[in-house]
Amino acid sequence: MKVIFHAHHAPMSDRMRRRARLGVTKLAERLGRPVDAVIRFEDDGPARRVEIMLHAPRRKPLIASASGRYAGVALSEALDRLETQVETQHRKRLARRKSRA
């Protein structure tokens, strides 16, 4: 899976990149056959914003964003929101399989 980082007026440390990549990779494995993920860090005055877009074939892109005083907090919230969307997709897929059987 390809992970693309965008930083808009925001410094991004290597540790933050590793943390974001690890979190998205774990969630993408649960989704199945991910294509790519775009992680955008934005800095606007005192607020930090993180947006994650996850693409998988034959599905709408999953988008989660969060903002906070610090980039780490915003990243954690965005990953939590993305996890909720991935779990919903996973449950729907399992329900379709059961209904076909």
48-67 per-position pLDDT tens digit: 999 999 998 888 999 999 99
CA distance 69 to 3: 24
Q: Beta-carbon neighbour count of residue 93 at 10 Å?
A: 12
Q: Give this prediction's pTM.
A: 0.90
Q: Considering only 35-44, 68-77, 87-96, which range has the smallest mean pLDDT?
A: 87-96
Instruction: Give the pLDDT of residue 51.
Output: 97
Quick check: 5 and 41 in contact, CB under 8 A? yes
Set out the domains of the chain in order of their start, with CATH numbers. Answer: 2-100 (3.30.160.100)
